[in-house]
A and B are shown apart, each in its own frame.
Chain A
Amino acid sequence: MQIDRLLLLAVLAMLALLTDSSRLAIAAPAGDHDLVAKGEYLAHAGDCIACHTNPGGALFAGGFPMATPFGTIYSSNITPDPTTGIGSWTADQFYGAMHTGRFPDGGLIYPAMPFASYTKVTREDCDAIFAYLRSVPPVHQPNRPNDLRFPFNNRQLILGWRTLFFQEGEYQPDRTKSAEWNRGAYLVEGLGHCSMCHTPINALGGSSQSQAFEGGLIPMQNWYAPSLTSNKEAGLGEWSIEEIVDLLRIGVSHRGAVYGPMAEVTYDSLQYLNDTDVRAMAVYLKSLGQGNPLAPEVSGIPAPESSLLMSFGQTVYSTHCAICHAADGRGMPPDYPPLAGNPSIQMESSVNPIRMVLNGGFPPGTAGNPMPYGMPPFAQTLSDDEVAAVVTYIRAVWGNRGSAVSARQANELRTAPLD
């Protein structure tokens, strides 16, 4: 009897265990699903796709060429293929790559991979991204060897670069700031890797932390990534939070639109982030631009010549530009962006306004702006003199305070790469 009872108890206990474990078995995939979904979201925040997917190619299979001043680097396959991808990596090894910029075998990763930013990402978030990457279809595609010139093909040089420009460590919240501000800072400085473009890049290919977010010309692309700290550039101190959110997530706003390399960031990354996160980024970015009053720009071209340029520029503007941007430069926002008071036109570097006139462009097609209005390319229509005149004009009227532009500057940008 007692034995029977014991047996019965044992059977019941086993049944209970079985039930529990079957519950766990059901619960586990749901947990995985949440983790994968979180990882997918964070992978969007990190814009992994921009470099690790070739346009029209398989998701995350790599092979995307990135031109650098030192040669061409090809992005790697990060699908879970065990031989050509990261299928044999562990979560620890993935975190190591993100956090320390080293391959599982200890080898050094070229800093084209923004590990100087990704080092700030928490272990928890890295694990979620890893779970997501393990869930995508594996693609058997061997990595293409980099095509770097001597001496840059020697990976040991990265050690020197790391000493100068790499500081390992997860993001440390600033306790004097709000949780929202800290979330924004975490996204901008970490996964967003904004400093890769918006901090001056020196001859060694490094970005100095003391000049963080002060802007600079993006090597090889010939687009100027404006300073995020100066209100004269993309400093957003005077923008409303709504306007910053629109610019980042929709791609157009009542103050201006994203274009060039930033259009890619909105298209591939920011449009997929939720309102809370984009708002947090806006709060942080706005704070970077505060306490930076505008200083008047001094024209680099003698007055008589620049007044000729101005009257010529006004003629070109009335003929080609006023139909959309209006005679008073107020545009028809958000579709035809305003030029009056638009910081991206008045920056010290005139590269971006010249390129917009030459190449035109569409803001990215996003959920919030699925059918953007495009700016015509004027490279075929306008001469170097006309481009210089009209850019000088829009930089100097309606209260704008940019310096004059020369025909030579316009000419040099005709050959700037378009991809």
Chain B
Amino acid sequence: MLNGLRRVVRNGGRQVDRAILLVSVMLCSAAVAAAEPTEHAPDTMEARLRACVPCHGRQGEGTNNDYFPRLAGKPAGYLMNQLVAFRDGRRRYPPMNYLLEYQADPYLQKIADYFAALRPLPLPPTVADVSPAVLARGRELVTEGDRAHGVPPCSGCHGPKLTGMEPAVPGLVGLRAAYISAQLGAFRYGTRTAAAPDCMQLVAASLTETDVTAVAAWLASQPIPPDPSPVPKGTLSMPLACGSEPN
């Protein structure tokens, strides 16, 4: 119960927070009025989240760096799960763990909603530097899976256009090969974990190294469709149970 109370104190009470914010804004304005006038920071999420720009781009579209993902347009539930997992250390990446360590759930939800709603121009897909045979294997795994080895097709959960499904299955297009293969490795080795049952841990464990290269290369070579929105909740009947995606 106390745990719950603590959570309420940390995460809830938005109205109280708002009231306190209002009061502190009033106090701050009073203080500023008394001192020399200085400019105010814009009261926008964009101005609050400049910390995200160097790695994720001005509008969450991603950057030229191979290891930093696009955030824009991914389902808010997925982004929220990742923000919480970074904060609590369930997904290990020290620069992100550090940035989110002392933020409460309501703010993380606002951050998730902000990036989910953005629709920036997509970055161009990368040209795959793998053989046509590897690329074909990648396409096969993504669209059909590999029954013999217990690998479901990616499109079964991530959608026919691979733009994800509400509320928490991420899109896979618009990402770079290095990022995708690093994530599959992180699922396999336990540095990226999700709520049980951790479906991606099972999928990643059933892929060979070559499979990972093939899937990553093919996905990275696909253009983002004109409407990158995830499909609505319940559109797909998922072949695996995933703790992160209530269905």
Q: Could you list which residues of chain A lie within 8 angstroms of chain B, going by C-beta atoms?
A: 40, 55-56, 58-59, 135-137, 242, 250, 254, 263-264, 266-267, 272, 324, 326, 330-336, 338, 359-365, 367-381, 417-419
Contacts and interface: CB of A to CB of B under 8 A. Distances in A.
A59 B3 contact: yes
Contacts of B1: 137
Given A55-B87, A267-B102, A334 B21 contact: no
Given A263-B101, A264-B102, A374-B49, 20 more contacts: A136-B3, A137-B1, A137-B3, A326-B39, A332-B38, A332-B39, A335-B41, A336-B41, A363-B102, A364-B102, A364-B103, A369-B24, A373-B41, A373-B50, A374-B50, A376-B51, A377-B54, A377-B55, A380-B54, A418-B94
A59 B6 contact: yes
B89 interface: yes
Nearest to A251: B102
Interface stretch (B104-112, B144-152, B162-170, B206-214): B104-112
A365 B107 contact: yes
24 contacts: A56-B89, A242-B31, A254-B28, A254-B31, A264-B101, A326-B39, A330-B38, A332-B39, A333-B32, A335-B40, A335-B47, A338-B38, A359-B98, A362-B51, A362-B102, A365-B102, A367-B13, A368-B24, A372-B48, A375-B50, A376-B53, A418-B97, A419-B97, A419-B98
A222 B113 CA distance: 34
Contact of A324 (B13, B50, B94, B107): B50
Contacts of A381: 54
A334 B97 contact: no
Interface string B42-74: 000001111111110000000001000000000
A369 B48 CA distance: 12
Contacts of A380: 54-55, 65
Contacts of B102: 263-264, 266-267, 362-365
B16 interface: yes
A250 B20 CA distance: 11
B55 A370 contact: no
A332 B2 CA distance: 38
B99 interface: yes
A336 B53 CA distance: 16
A51 B197 CA distance: 29
A365 B100 CA distance: 10
Contacts of A379: 95
B48 A373 contact: yes
B103 A58 contact: no
A365 B54 contact: no
B33 interface: no
Nearest to B98: A418
Contact of B21 (A336, A361, A368): A368
A186 to B, nearest CB: 24
A374 B16 CA distance: 23
Interface string B78-106: 00000000011110001101111111101
B156 to A, nearest CB: 30
B133 interface: no
Interface in B97-133: 97-104, 106-107, 110
B98 A374 contact: no
B247 to A, nearest CB: 24
Contacts of A324: 41, 50
Contacts of B17: 367, 370
A362 B103 contact: yes
B196 interface: no
Contacts of B90: 56
